[in-house]
Chain A
Amino acid sequence: MDNTLTAKPAGKSLGKALLYTLPMFLITFVFITGGRLSFTDPAEVLAIFLVFLGMNVLYFLMHYTGETDKFRAVLFIIFAVSLSFTLIKNIVDMRSSMSFSQADIVECRIPFCHLVIPMMIIPAAFTKSIIFPGTILGNFANISSMIVLWLAATIVLGRGFCSWGCFYGGWDDGFSRLRKKPVIRKISDTWKWMPFAVLFMVALTAALTLVPTYCDWICPFKAVTEFEQVTNVESAVKAGVFISLFGGLVVVLPAMTRKRTQCSFLCPLGAINTVSNKVTPFIIKIDKTACSECLKCVAACPLFALTPEGVKAGTVSVFCSKCGKCVDVCENKAIHFGIKGIPPGTMKNFTRNLFLFVSFLFIAVFSAGSIVFTVKSILDFVI
Chain B
Amino acid sequence: MNKIKIALGIAWAFVCLLIIIILFPGLTGLSRAMAALPFMKINPRYTGGEEAFIKPADACTLVVRKPVFDGLWKERKTGFVQIDWRGDIPENISDTIDYDQDGAPDFTVRINTKTDNSELIPVSTSVKDIDVSTPTSYGWALRVNLKKHY
Chain A residues with a Cβ under 8 A of chain B = 27, 31, 101-103, 105-108, 122-134, 136-137, 142-145, 147-149, 152, 155-156, 207-208, 210, 280-282, 339-343, 351, 354-355, 357-358, 361-362, 365
Q: Is the CB of A132 within 8 A of B46?
A: yes
What are the nearest 8 A-B pairs in CB distance?
A341-B9, A341-B5, A129-B43, A156-B16, A281-B12, A133-B46, A144-B31, A145-B31
Give the distance in Å from the alpha carbon of A134 to the alpha carbon of B21 in the complex.
28
Q: Is the CB of A31 within 8 A of B72?
A: no
Give the distance in Å from the alpha carbon of A8 to the alpha carbon of B82 in the complex.
64
Residue with the greatest number of chain B CB neighbours at <10 A, chosen from A31, A124, A133, A136:
A136
Residues of A within 8 A of B138 (CB): 107
Q: With A106-B143, A144-B31 in contact, do A130 and B43 touch (Cβ < 8 Å)? A: yes
Q: Is the CB of A339 within 8 A of B13?
A: yes
Q: Which residue on A lies nearest to B34, using beta carbons? A: A144
- Interface membership of B42, Cβ < 8 A: yes
Q: What's the nearest-Cβ distance from chain B to residue A114, in Å?
A: 13
5 contacts between A and B (CB under 8 A): A126-B73, A136-B41, A156-B19, A280-B16, A342-B10
Give the distance in Å from the alpha carbon of A131 to the alpha carbon of B46 in the complex.
7
- Interface membership of B105, Cβ < 8 A: no
Q: Is the CB of B45 within 8 A of A210?
A: yes
Q: Is the CB of B19 within 8 A of A106?
A: no
Give the distance in Å from the alpha carbon of A102 to the alpha carbon of B131 in the complex.
10
Q: Is the CB of B47 within 8 A of A131?
A: no
Q: Which residue on B lies nearest to A351, using beta carbons? A: B13
Q: Is the CB of A106 within 8 A of B43?
A: no
Q: What's the nearest-Cβ distance from chain B to residue A116, in Å?
A: 12
Name which of B22-30, B56-64, B107-115 contacts chain A: B22-30
Q: Which residue on B lies nearest to A102, using beta carbons? A: B134
Q: Is the CB of A127 within 8 A of B134?
A: no
| 18 further A-B pairs in the complex, CB-CB below 8 A; given A127-B43, A210-B72, A357-B17 | A106-B132, A106-B136, A107-B136, A122-B72, A128-B39, A129-B43, A129-B44, A130-B42, A130-B43, A144-B35, A145-B30, A148-B31, A210-B43, A281-B13, A340-B5, A342-B9, A343-B6, A362-B23
Give the distance in Å from the alpha carbon of A132 to the alpha carbon of B20 in the complex.
27
Q: Is the CB of A143 within 8 A of B40?
A: yes
Give the distance in Å from the alpha carbon of A127 to the alpha carbon of B72 in the complex.
6
Q: With A103-B141, A106-B136, A128-B39 in contact, do A156 and B46 touch (Cβ < 8 Å)? A: no
Give the distance in Å from the alpha carbon of A163 to the alpha carbon of B92 in the complex.
54
Chain B residues with a Cβ under 8 A of chain A = 2, 5-10, 12-14, 16-17, 19-21, 23-25, 27, 30-32, 34-35, 38-48, 70-73, 82, 132, 134-138, 141, 143
How would you classify the secondary structure of chain B's contact residues: helix, strand, loop or mixed? helix
Give the distance in Å from the alpha carbon of A106 to the alpha carbon of B20 in the complex.
35
Q: Which residue on A lies nearest to B143, using beta carbons? A: A106
Q: Which residue on A lies nearest to B135, using beta carbons? A: A103
Q: With A103-B134, A144-B31 in contact, do A136 and B40 touch (Cβ < 8 Å)? A: yes
Q: What's the nearest-Cβ distance from chain B to residue A342, in Å?
A: 5
Q: With A106-B48, A281-B9, A341-B8 in contact, do A362 and B136 touch (Cβ < 8 Å)? A: no
Q: What's the nearest-Cβ distance from chain B to residue A356, in Å?
A: 11
Residue with the greatest number of chain A CB neighbours at <10 A, chosen from B16, B25, B38, B132:
B16
Give the distance in Å from the alpha carbon of A148 to the alpha carbon of B70 in the complex.
27
Residue in B46, B47, B72 whose beta carbon sits within 8 Å of that of A207 in the complex? B72
Q: Is the CB of B13 within 8 A of A282?
A: yes
Give the distance in Å from the alpha carbon of A295 to the alpha carbon of B105 in the complex.
75
Q: What's the nearest-Cβ distance from chain A to residue B13, in Å?
A: 4
Residues of B within 8 A of A145 (CB): 27, 30-31, 34
Q: What's the nearest-Cβ distance from chain A to residue B116, in Å?
A: 11
Residues of B within 8 A of A122 (CB): 72
Residue in A102, A108, A127, A130 whose beta carbon sits within 8 Å of that of B40 in the complex? A130
Q: Is the CB of B19 within 8 A of A155?
A: yes
Q: Which residue on B lies nearest to A136, using beta carbons? A: B35
Q: Is the CB of A123 within 8 A of B72?
A: yes
Q: Is the CB of A128 within 8 A of B46?
A: no
Give the distance in Å from the alpha carbon of A19 to the alpha carbon of B14 in the complex.
19
Residue in B14, B41, B72 whose beta carbon sits within 8 Å of that of A126 in the complex? B72
Residue in A103, A124, A340 whose beta carbon sits within 8 Å of that of B137 in the complex? A103
Residues of B within 8 A of A155 (CB): 16, 19
Give the distance in Å from the alpha carbon of A365 to the alpha carbon of B39 in the complex.
28
Residues of A within 8 A of B82 (CB): 106
Q: Is the CB of B6 within 8 A of A341?
A: yes
Give the distance in Å from the alpha carbon of A132 to the alpha carbon of B19 in the complex.
28
